[in-house]
Amino acid sequence: MIIEHIVLCWLRLALNELQFSAVISHGGTLAQIEHHQRRLGAAQKRFTRVAESLARLRKLARPSLQINVAAEGGQQVNVA
């Protein structure tokens, strides 16, 4: 489900970037440019937030495993 949300946020971000580029290239007014900048910034924040959420979920899903191996002389070495 979170992957679908990431894809949707990415598509919205790409669409906002295209619209912003179109406004810039066609000489939009200052109000139009500011409007599209705000929309683009909001889309970037949403995408970043959902990507960070996925990274946290993947980190939590990893099994934590630690192995203690006895080296020569009886000294233990931790292998993570």
- Cβ 17 vs Cβ 40: under 8 Å: yes
67 touches 78 (CB < 8 A): yes
For 15-39, what is each residue's pLDDT tens digit?
Answer: 999 999 999 999 999 999 999 999 9
C-alpha span between 58 and 80 (Å, rounded): 17
Mean pLDDT (the chain) is 87
Q: How many residues does the chain have?
A: 80
Residue 72 is predicted with a pLDDT of 67
- Please report, for the chain, the start and end positions of each structural domain, with discontinuous segments joined by +: 2-79
Does residue 1 register a pLDDT over 60? Answer: yes
